[in-house]
Chains A and B, each alone.
Chain A
Amino acid sequence: MAKNTLLYCATDKEIYDVLMSSKQRINGAVVLELAKDRGIFYSSKDSRETLIHNLSLLTHDYHDLNIILDQREHTGRTEKLTSVTLNAALTIDEIKEVAKDYMADSPSDEKATGYQKGNDQYVVNVEYSEIDYSKTRLVQRTPKAAGIEFHIEGEKTVIRMPSNAKAKEIVQKIKVRLDNKKKADIPVGLIELSEFATAAERTRFFTLLISTLVGFKLDNVTSVKVERMKNEKATDELELEDDQNTEEAKQEALALIRNVALRGDSLLASEEYQSLQKKGFFITSIIWRSKQMTVPYPVIEFEAAFEEPEVGKGFKYSVRGALNFVEGEYTKTLRPIEQEVKQKLVFLIERTANGVISKIREEAAASADFSQ
């Protein structure tokens, strides 16, 4: 019985927890403002804890609770994107039909809607909830939305989605439906580096990506993560069962660095990065800024990374914002970019990444021919 009554109400402790949990968004001034809305003036000299303690003991109706939750709710970071290419000729009607089929069948905790954008794009928006039981009860459920875009480009269709498990699951379900419709397993193309086994090739992917964006010029690299290439055991190695050797190997492993994250300016020219590169580390994630070479010369910040760096799978990327050229100088902080422009930039990353992979493949083939 007690369990059911608690389902639709928030206890003073839960209100206390939710107010206390977000120190940045609900600071002392916000708590004072919340109290002022109720006609209560607390002292601004009271500590945040005392203020929250006093406020949480008051009666809160549905509206009051919503105000608190609104204060706490953050817009969320823009998620990185990922894409899948379906190498088959699909029409917009086929995609629309399959998407509608999925929407009709979608689980009860999801709300899926879809619409056509132009002649060659279809967008499926899925609103769903993410539950995190480790949080306090009132904020366990986070409403989220995944925009899945289908871009028809001649003989292939690119599906662009947020790089998270939920979006991938939805795309997989839609793909199965498309397979059934086409009565064939549609071949899938992914941006992956699994075929490149050397650290140099993996790093070359990123250096080419940041330096060959058409219409852009590399300005700065502000964040880099590097990882050590796992050396495969040589098959012809002598296996000596010697306790002393095992002990030595154990000791070596103690001082082994697996990955390093660097933050700063012009990182790729730093001594630290270059020495790591020489030691066989390769780039797994990068944040860089490139200057657009057309008016008004904005500096765009991009991010690219692999979800599974060791195997070079799960390429994800995002356009983080722009430094605009205003009155002779660049803004100090990143400004948001219009959705339309962002989409073009995302497309540019995808196209460049695919081009870079082909180039590295050609280079690898050429060097293999040469060595033969």
Chain B
Amino acid sequence: MRRVRWLGAEWSVPMRTLASRMKAQLFTSESFDGFVIHRVRDNSIEAEYVEKLTYQETVTDPFGNETVFDRIGYRRIEFTLFSEFPNIELHDAHRSTREFVSKLLELCSFSVIVEPVAADLLCWANDFQRNLGEKTVIDSVQVSGLELEAGIYAKVLLKGDKDVTAALENLSLNRKFELDKVQVKVRVGQKAFPIQMSNSGTARIPEDQWRELLPMLRSSLGKQKPKN
């Protein structure tokens, strides 16, 4: 499974300008960090942010002798920036996006808004089904804040071999709850594969379907652009 995370942003500069600023900070063999640009279009930039880490690793043998090795590691954030919502797409990024956001801020002369996405999962899943043109099944949902009694809340995970949304409705009985995650089963021919989506705008897609499904998930999320 590969992970993707979307963020919203309000750019103060066009994509081409942003790309030219990235070009001024390209990653080279001498630099600590920088960008590797793959593709620039009027409305998107595909690139990587690379950080070089050099450190020493100490190995102690059974006789107590220490050997120190110089190691070099690279931390990479593969991303695509779009002029349209969702504006930032991070591929398999580690949890903390702070450093990356700080880098974007610098590129935009500290004049950019970066915001997490708050997705309506059922709408997103429905739009995705429409984009795909195939019947999909929501076979798992994770719900939190389901008020059982006054002051008592439940976190529930529903799993099934068929659509669980009807069961969720029966369970919730019109009570308030928060839909945290859904798993959508997509059936292609004999094969079925899961896609997990969360309300913070992240998704997990099977590696084989990555290229095919990623643009559909993105465009269906794009329909949820927050209204200013």
Contact = CB atoms under 8 A, between A and B. Distances in A.
Contacts of A211: 106, 110
Nearest to A215: B32
B53 A297 contact: yes
B104 to A, nearest CB: 7
B212 interface: no
A10 B119 CA distance: 64
A232 to B, nearest CB: 25
Contacts of A269: 101-102, 104-105, 112-114
Given A268-B110, A269-B105, A293-B33, A217 B55 contact: no
Interface of A is mostly: mixed
A277 interface: yes
B169 to A, nearest CB: 34
B98 A265 contact: yes
A219 B102 contact: yes
A295 B110 contact: no
A207 B113 contact: no
Contacts of A293: 32-33
A81 B228 CA distance: 43
Interface centre among B33, B102, B105 (most CB of A within 10 A): B102
Interface in A189-207: 203, 207
B102 A218 contact: yes
A220 B111 contact: no
B113 A220 contact: no
A170 to B, nearest CB: 38
Nearest to B108: A269
B58 interface: no
Contact of A219 (B98, B110, B111): B98
- SS of B interface (majority): mixed
B149 interface: no
B26 to A, nearest CB: 16
Interface string A144-179: 000000000000000000000000000000000000
Contact of A291 (B99, B104, B111): B99
A291 B33 CA distance: 12
Given A266-B114, A271-B115, A220 B53 contact: no
A296 interface: yes
A129 interface: no
Contacts of B105: 218, 266, 268-269
Nearest to B100: A266
B209 interface: no
A249 to B, nearest CB: 31
A358 interface: no
B98 A220 contact: yes
B98 A296 contact: no
A207 B53 CA distance: 25
B56 A277 contact: no
Given A211-B106, A265-B98, A271 B33 contact: no
Contacts of B55: 295-297
B172 interface: no
A277 B102 contact: no
A220 B102 contact: yes
A274 interface: yes
14 contacts: A207-B110, A211-B110, A218-B103, A219-B98, A220-B102, A266-B114, A268-B105, A269-B114, A270-B113, A274-B112, A277-B111, A291-B99, A295-B56, A296-B55
> Closest 3 interchain pairs by CB?
A269-B114, A293-B32, A218-B102
Interface of A: 203, 207, 211, 217-221, 265-266, 268-271, 274, 277, 291, 293, 295-297
